[in-house]
Structure 1
Amino acid sequence: MVKGIILAFLAFAVFAWGDAVVKAIGHDLDPFEVTFFGYLIPLLLSPAFMKPGDRLTDLVRWRSPWLMALRVFFISITTPLSVMAFTSLPFAEAFALLFLMPSLVTVLSIFVLKETVRWRRGLAVCAAFIGVLIIVRPGFREILPGHVIAIAAALCSAGGVIMGRMIGTTEKRYTLIGSVFLGTAVIAGILMIPGFTWPAPPQWGLLLAFAATAFVAQALFVIATTYAPADRLGAAQYSQILWALLIGALFFDEWPDTVALAGIVIVVAAGLFIFAREQTLKKAPEAPSPAASPQERTAVGQNSF
């Protein structure tokens, strides 16, 4: 269990540094182009996640085609939206808005999965939205397109989680991981055409670094799940906000003010409470629906969520 937790923290640290690379390059290249090259190499390397008996055709051979299609679509759209958010907002602020995802999953589960959400989780969801209002402060400062985009990314990521829960354990691990790499590369490849520009040599270096972090982080998380259940490792993703604060301050000279920092703490605390509450409910006799992997950006997890 301890090895799994350590590897999960390491995986999400790599994800955070990958997002920092995205922020560094995103101002110069089309976000869809960044996403395409960032996921093309992981797609080519995705056979590393195959188990004995898996085939390359499993990428598109889905046992739940409609649910898988929606899941791939939601997660594939999440990444370019996240790229846009990271390039237009302070690093930690973008992360905090993306961490609205667990609260949105809770809300969607009421309408889509017909789950009963008790008052504790309901209060946590309300707190998360209050935290977002504190961060954005509508009426007190300008609401930027990046704020809307980050929330849209969180909503798409939440949609991917809901689809994952509906799919359950019917799909192979390679199918879940590789299909997201494939779907993201295809969708981003099409959408990048109007704004495509050939990357300069330094940009190629950053694109390769982004692709490397996407693959390495996913691989670390997969290895972590061999030591501990994936749903027990979800809390590790919240360590990304600490990396975001550190990276934003050291490399982008971004220092959130006291009000924004308070909002970030509220959003993260609410997400952690929702995660802990769901773990408690899973241990109850009426243990509910199957859970998808917590990292739904590629692991199909946002981040690029």
Structure 2
Amino acid sequence: MNRQFRIFSIPGFDAFVAKATQAPGASICNFKLYVCNADDPTASWAYGGSSLPILPFFRTLKMPVGVVLAFLAYASFSVADALIKTTGPALSVFEIAFFTTSFSIIPAILTKRGERWRDMYKLEHPWLVHLRCLTAISGTACVMYAFTHIQFAEVYAIGFTTPLFVTLLSVLLLREHVALHRWVLLFISFLGVVLVIRPGMRALETGHFVMMAGAVLGAITTTILRHVAPKERRVSLVGLQVLYSAIVNAVLMLPDFVVPTPAQLGVLLGIGLLGGMGGLLLIQASRQTPANLIAPVQYSQLIWAILFGALFFNEYPDWIAIAGMLVVVSAGLLNVLTERPRIRWKPRIFFFRIGQ
């Protein structure tokens, strides 16, 4: 099985293209992620016999399918986060959340298969699903506030305490087994985060504490998703969160509402599409892989944080921060790759398919 996907393309940014190959009956797939210049026609991707003159971003890896999907999800989230930071000074957090959440439902509509929207409220675990919506909305607000008030890399650094909280909740609530070496690697990752933000050596702002709250809320959301995803409809998990978020943010954005310009509206559309697509990928990943294995994949966003911070926001971390990020990435990836549970491949992947 050979699949190619176009993840993102917008003028002024790079296009991210993925290629996944799976042998018949195999439980793992070979995965490549490419980057190409969206403004250079000679480097753009044409499906169906045309050449693909693009630079490999990851060398081919063999890993569980759920982990591959999680990598794609967090790549989409990272691009969306960069766009949020560029929009933040002009629009309120709640207005950004309203438009992006509303647009994020588009991927679910385009990829919906075999599920009816009128079944959205047919739930197996209604209280947990509604609780997940509330924690997701609150966590999103915290993250957007942090992006508009502190440095891009610092938001990610604090956010990468989420896997530690997810692992704790997975053990306490889901009774998942976590090997000793995983605890050691998570602790090393946490030390890397400390190197990046260096608390005690400088004054921390409100955004730092708000982001920490967002990390805890994100861990709760991920753990609930891991529990309910195998039993709930995808239309329920996606649709209810979008519906609740639109209502809450519509009310909260009214006092400071500003009519977005066409350019701002285009950026908000891009954020929404990327966020919605990433959410679908993460749901599918959670159905196939334990939460404590998916969680460390979020560390890949540190790479995007350094690239986007330097390219678009003139933010250059010092050598101590870079060393901390390398520690976090190394420990996180080792956590993913040191154990490969047998996972059944499900060919129905819920995001954009080029040429299909």
Counting aligned pairs with the same residue, the percent is: 34
Match of residue 19 from structure 1: 81
Residue of structure 2 equivalent to 1:172: 233
Deviation for aligned residue 1:66? 0.9
Question: 1 or 2 for the larger relative contact order (CA 8 Å, sep ≥6)?
Answer: 1
What's the secondary structure of 2:148's corresponding residue?
A: helix
1:87 aligns to what?
Answer: 148
The counterpart of 1:75, out of the listed 128, 132, 136, is: 136
Match of 1:296 in 2: none
Correspondent of 1:271 among 311, 317, 332: 332
From 300, 305, 319, the equivalent of 1:239 is 300
SS in 2 for 1:193: helix
Structure 1 counterpart of 2:81, one-letter code:
D
- Change in Cα spacing, 1:148 to 1:256, as seen in structure 2 (3 Å) is same
Q: Name the CA shift for 1:234/1:119 in 2 (closer, same or farther; >3 Å).
A: closer
- CA positional deviation for 1:237: 4.6
Q: 1:128 aligns with which of 189, 194, 210?
A: 189
CA distance 1:73–1:269, shift in 2 (3 Å): farther
Q: Aligned AA for 1:46?
A: A
Q: Residue 293 of structure 1 aligns with which residue?
A: none
- Amino acid in structure 1 at the alignment position of 2:104: P
SS across alignment from 2:273: helix
Tell me, in whole angstroms, the C-alpha distance in 1 between the residues paired with 2:32 and 2:297.
9
Q: Which residue of 1 aligns with 2:258?
A: 197
Matched, 1:186 2:254: no
Q: Deviations over 1:237-278 (max 9, x none)?
A: 54332222111101110001111122222333333344446x
Q: Match for residue 157 of structure 2?
A: 96
**Aligned position for 1:42:** 104
Question: What letter is aligned with 1:149?
Answer: V
CA shift for structure 1 position 29 = 1.3
What number of residue pairs does the alignment pair up?
279
SS at match of 1:192: helix
Paired position in structure 1 for 2:120: 59
Instruction: Provide Cα deviations, 1:158-181, integer angstroms capped at 9, x if missing partner.
Output: 101111222251112222222232
RMSD: 3.1
More helix by share: 1
Contact kept, 8 Å, 1:102 with 1:271, in 2: the verdict is no
1:49/1:174 contact within 8 Å kept? no
Distance 2:150 2:110 in 1: 35
Whether the aligned pair in 1 keeps the contact of 2:169 and 2:223 (CA below 8 Å) is yes
Counterpart of 1:43 in structure 2: which amino acid? I
The 5-angstrom pairing of residues 25-36 of structure 1 reads: 25-36=87-98
Change (3 A) 1:13 1:166: closer
Deviations 1:33-64 (A, max 9, x none): 10110011223563323222x21123332210
In the TM superposition, 1:112-127 aligns within 5 A as: 112-115=173-176, 117-127=178-188
> Is the Cα–Cα contact under 8 Å of residues 30 and 196 in structure 1 kept in the other structure?
yes
Determine if the alignment matches structure 1 residue 212 to structure 2 residue 273. Answer: yes
TM-superposed CA distance for 1:137, in Å, is: 1.3
Corresponding letter in the other structure for 2:168: V
How far off is 1:21 after superposition?
Answer: 0.7
CA distance in 2, matches of 1:131, 1:171: 36
Question: Scaled by the length of structure 2, what TM-score is found?
Answer: 0.68
Letter in 2 for 1:154: A
TM-score under structure 1 normalisation? 0.78
Residue type matched to 1:100 in 2?
A: T
Over 3 Å counting, the alpha-carbon distance change for 1:91 and 1:180 in structure 2 is same
Considering only CA atoms, is the larger Rg found in Structure 1 or Structure 2?
2
More strand by share: 2
Are the counterparts in 2 of residues 43 and 182 from structure 1 also a CA contact under 8 Å?
no
Q: Give distance in 1, aligned partners of 2:328 and 2:282.
A: 27
In 2 relative to 1, CA 110–32 (structure 1 residues): closer, same or farther, beyond 3 Å? same
**In structure 2, distance between residues paired with 1:243 and 1:139:** 27
Counterpart residue identity of residue 158, structure 1: A
